[in-house]
Amino acid sequence: MTQRVLERFEVAGPEDGPYGVAVGADGGVWFTLVHAGEIGRLAPDGTVTRYGLGAGGCGPAVITPGPDGALWFTRMRDHRIGRIGADGRQASYAVPTAEAGPYGIAAGPDGALWFTEMNADRIGRITVDGDVTEFPLPLAGAFPSMITAGPDGALWCTLNQADAVARVGVDGEVVVHRLPVGTAPVGITAGSDGALRYVGIGGGLVGRVTVDGEVTEHPLPDRAARPHAIAADAAGRLWFTEWGAGRIGVLDPDGRYDAYPLPGPSPEPHGIAVGPDGAVHAALERGELVRLAG
């Protein structure tokens, strides 16, 4: 594998907590500041712009490009879904279930955004006009975490405390696929091979689940790395944050592992995204974004 160049961008203080990251249609790298209650944008020239959300304790977490050209994000502490346009204009929408704790969010195949409700064992759907529908999961205390559009026209999400992944049809029908005990999956993405890939923060592994529910695991060399988020690139590589080890990990399609240690103390990498140019972006809670290019 060709080694990439690691670039670092200071975008906030460590008390602000960069967490989620996404590449927007405008070419900017957008990120959440979970502790500061803000959304940030890193321009291609390195300029950083920050947008307050009017509620410092709202807890913006995961962010994703929407079908309308805006960025959509979860506000897990005040239980709302946020939208911000490339011009900085904002809107937010309440989740009907009280104390739901929305967390993961992704654009679905139906032109809407789909999100998880950590505290309510529900999956939500929000249209670009702000209409919200909720679908219950069949497990209690499952702690639904991240979500992604699958290759089969459905949404797939991780159930962190249930050691499972779930398939959610656009009609709300849910099918649960169990994983080995102790996996504690968090991040999930669609791979290039027609299957889903997830990371187990408890098991120290990258897993693969087919749309029929067949599960295989790829243990990481460091089982204590606590992988958190995962994204696939166009070449079939899987990029993931190793939150407990301060690294960005990557698996080639043939299963070969490589890693990029993050310099400096306590980087705490969380969200990860791959841009259209193949560059990999990750958010470090200590106040930085990093970019792997080349």
Closest CA to 196 of 179, 210, 180, 177: 210
Strand spans (E) along 127-184: 132-136, 144-149, 155-159, 164-168, 174-178
CA–CA gap between residue 131 and residue 109 (Å, rounded):
17
Reported residue count of the chain is 294
CA–CA gap between residue 123 and residue 144 (Å, rounded):
8
The backbone torsions φ and ψ at residue 152, rounded to the nearest 5 degrees and listed phi first, read -105, 15
CA–CA gap between residue 12 and residue 127 (Å, rounded):
31
CA–CA gap between residue 194 and residue 162 (Å, rounded):
24
Catalytic residues: 270
3-state secondary structure of 162: helix
